[in-house]
Structure 1
Amino acid sequence: MIGLVGKKVGMTRIFTEDGVSIPVTVIEVEANRVTQVKDLANDGYRAIQVTTGAKKANRVTKPEAGHFAKAGVEAGRGLWEFRLAEGEEFTVGQSISVELFADVKKLT
């Protein structure tokens, strides 16, 4: 199952029809950019590596700059990996947004 990286911006609450308060976390999700696609042949498992946000140019190390340049994406604030299920396909440089979960009613 693929996921997205976001930043917690706060807490709020929602109310059920009978007035019960339920605490919820508010998460800001910017577009996640695919920086690397890992496959069984080269890496031994299927996964994608993503970044999000922006990082100042003077804060990007040379190895990171090379990695982001190879992928053709803007340097982000970190790198995260998500395992891929069979049939899920992504390409380097592809942008992933919350529209990925358009048919999902509840995220946990």
Structure 2
Amino acid sequence: MGLGILGKKLGMTQIFHEDGSIVPVTVIKAGPCYVVQKKAAEKEGYSAVQLGFEEIKKARRINKPLAGHFKKANVLPMNFLREF
């Protein structure tokens, strides 16, 4: 099973090294990530963890099956769901 973290790109900036060279970097807001589901190899055939990131501001925009999925995990509805 791999490890993962979800984040959102905030923008770009630059870092200056001591020798004067400039390196472009990406600024990322990471987390908080919530474990929404754990998948076991015995039941699903593979091992994985489903992570959720960024709470949905308007919960009425999700469908009923997905709302039930989040309710079962006891977390608020999330914008992004990814499996690692």
- Same fold judged by TM-score > 0.5? yes
Map Cα deviations across residues 25-54 of structure 1 (whole Å, 9 max, x no partner): 000113100000011101111110011111
Q: Of the two, which has the highest radius of gyration?
A: 2
Amino acid at match of 1:30: G
Map Cα deviations across residues 43-94 of structure 1 (whole Å, 9 max, x no partner): 1111100111111111111011000000000100021011xxxxxxxxxxxx
What percentage of aligned pairs have identical amino acids? 48
Name 1:31's counterpart in structure 2: 32
Q: What 5-or-longer segments of structure 2 have no aligned partner?
A: none
Q: Give the strand-richer structure, 1 or 2.
A: 2
Name 2:51's counterpart in structure 1: 50
Distance 1:43 1:50 in 2: 17
Distance 2:25 2:74 in 1: 36
The number of equivalent residue pairs is 82
Name 1:81's counterpart in structure 2: 83
Shift of 1:8: 0.4
Name 2:67's counterpart in structure 1: 65
Task: Report the RMSD for the aligned CA atoms in angstroms.
Answer: 0.9
| 1:9 aligned counterpart, secondary structure | strand
**TM-score w.r.t. structure 2 length?**
0.92
**TM-score w.r.t. structure 1 length?**
0.72
Q: What 5-or-longer segments of structure 1 have no aligned partner?
A: 83-108
In the TM superposition, structure 1's runs of 4+ consecutive aligned residues that sit over 6 Å from their partners are: none
Name 1:86's counterpart in structure 2: none
